[in-house]
Amino acid sequence: MIRTQKNYSDYLTKVEPLLEKIEIDTSTQKRLREEIVTKELIVPVVGGFSAGKSTLINSFLGSDILSTNLTPETALATELRYDNNNHIKAIKADGSSDTYTLEQMEDIKNKASQYQYLKLYLENEKLKAIQPLVLVDMPGFDSPIELHNNAILNYLNKGVYFIVLTSIEDGNITKSILREIENITEFGKDFSFCLSKANLKGKDDVKAVQEKIQEQLEDYFDFKKEVIPLYENSAKELEKILKDINYEELFKKIFIDELKWNYLESESSINTIISTLKTSKDDVNTMLQELQNNIKIIAEKKEVMIEEAKAKYSNRSVESIINKVSRELMNNQDALVQMALHNQESFSRELNEIVKNTLIYEVRKKLNEAGDDIVDDLTLELKNLGSDLTSFQLNEQWIAKISESTKTLLHNAQNGLTNLVRSRQKNQPLDAGNGYKAITAVLGITTSVVNPLMEVVIVFLPEILSFINAKVQEQKLKQEIYNKFSMEIIPSIKAKLREELPILFENQINNIIEVISDQFENQLQQKKIEITKVQEEKEKNIKDIEQSLVLLEDTKQQVENLAYVTLFKG
């Protein structure tokens, strides 16, 4: 367990009994601690087909366990984990899996179309040493478009750090790899860059290509790290890359916001209990009524926002996204027509990449904008809280914290740091002890929106190619094909996207509204439950109020000290 992982786990272990002593629910702390202890850091190794990804990982493992003679059609993303029992789990689209021995690798190859990706478990000390990192051998960019899209869109969410390979024989960074790096950086992920097969060139040639790629990366991505040449035995180079990954910072990036918010929630709960103990029964009843009114307002507001979502967000955003795709295709029209005439496989890939990258950027931007707008809208509603609540510190500062944490939650979900927004535990009904509503909306845009759209584009590609082939056979002039591309093909692509994007985008907006409104509603509901519980206890044990207040203030200080040292110091 790395230092930050241990520090966060230890912090929660110390906080839990303190909160339990004053009867504050600690299910969230327990869930967080379990996630922290078991968290894996996924590191995909990406590059073109035959760029040397499997060879690099095999060199690191000290064994040729990964097949290097797979065809593009049989390559599957393969996650490598340590286990004292060697085996393979082949994961299907529905999440179920088949288990194989290592000797059955050929069987998996023959059934590759049935699976989404593989989990390869090996008793290998190198894999044990790099935990919690999990290396992923990715399909090459030259694999069939659908397979590549599924893999890269899935691991843009799952991956926390990427290792990018390009062959020295390419001489520079190809447009495909540049686009994939754009996607990686768009999602706020970092990467290392390796120049594979360096043994095929002389020292001076390697240095020249290395410097050229270094310049490209600096110009495009402000990349300051060294471009690493890989020779026949590249185990040490990969070990150094993995060692240089800042595990601590990655763990912090994933968990710090939620830990800080959890601390603020705990502090708020303690303050609410203290205020309730100090407040008269009539004032408490007034506050409970105020909270109930605001819970009702949030619920009603959610229904209104869902009804208005299509007109306010979906329609406008969908047209903007589709028009952006159209402009990008028009901007690349000359190159696409040339490819269509002379290399139709390159044409298919180029068109796919232009549409995919544009969708990733535009859908993410529009959903982030909509999410922030919805949070701000509900924040304004909450600011209408009655003045009777301010004595319980349920004021604008408290509302601002809810707003900020909700925006962070959404952005993390869009970036893949959180794939599934938390739900309450099974068999724990609403208002039974914690009052939280279930929140289970999947917010990863690459898998929920972009991938379904790209499947539509891929299905449409044969129609485009058939049209172009017909024109070539008729010996039509390039200009006619050029005109048809702008007048028929691009409008047809727009029409296909317009058929599918509205419902996907609207569903995602509705998911966001559900998540945001439930976040706000849960905070109010939790306060209501805490206050009701304390008031009932206060009426039963009125003589113990002063003693309870002392215990609460002491606990509050202890939790604050622990949080300062672990979460806020430095």
Going by DSSP bridges, is the β-strand pair 190-196/133-137 parallel, antiparallel, or unpaired?
unpaired
The pLDDT of residue 80 is 95
- Cβ pair 27, 561 in contact under 8 A: no
For residue 18, the Cα-to-chain-centroid distance in whole angstroms is: 33
305-359 tens-digit pLDDT: 998 888 888 888 999 999 999 999 999 998 998 888 888 888 898 999 999 999 9
pLDDT above 50 (res 440): no
Q: Number of helices (H) and strands (E) in the chain: give both, helices first.
A: 20, 9
Residues of the chain with CATH 3.40.50.300: 41-245
182-212 tens-digit pLDDT: 999 988 899 999 999 999 899 999 999 999 9
Tokens read off for 145: 């478009």
Judged by DSSP in three states, 121 sits in: strand
Residue 76 is given by DSSP the state -
pLDDT above 60 (res 439): no
- Cβ pair 155, 77 in contact under 8 A: yes
280-316 tens-digit pLDDT: 888 888 888 888 888 888 888 889 999 888 888 888 8
Of 462 and 61, the one with more pLDDT: 61
Give CA separation, 362 vs 355, 367, 552, in Å: 10, 9, 49
Query: What order do you get walking across the sheet with 228-229 strand by strand?
Result: 97-100, 87-91, 117-122, 77-82, 133-137, 41-47, 161-167, 190-196, 228-229
Q: Which listed CATH number (3.30.470.10, 3.30.70.260, 3.30.2020.10, 3.40.50.300) goes with 41-245?
A: 3.40.50.300
- Cβ pair 277, 531 in contact under 8 A: no
Quick one: CA torsion of 59, 60, 64, 65, rounded to 10 degrees?
Answer: -160
- Omega of the bond prior to 132 within 30 degrees of 0, cis? yes
The pLDDT of residue 310 is 85
For residue 519, the Cα-to-chain-centroid distance in whole angstroms is: 19
Going by DSSP bridges, is the β-strand pair 190-196/161-167 parallel, antiparallel, or unpaired?
parallel
- Compute the average pLDDT of residues 23-45: 93
User: What distance in Å separates the CA atoms of residue 503 and residue 443, rounded to the nearest whole number?
Assistant: 15
Confidence of residue 476 (pLDDT cuts 50, 70, 90): low
The pLDDT of residue 392 is 67
Nearest to 497 by CA among 346, 326, 311, 354: 326
The pLDDT of residue 515 is 87
pLDDT above 80 (res 394): no
Confidence of residue 438 (pLDDT cuts 50, 70, 90): very low
- Compute the average pLDDT of residues 520-549: 85
User: What distance in Å separates the CA atoms of residue 519 and residue 375, rounded to the nearest whole number?
Assistant: 10
Longest dimension (CA), the chain: 98
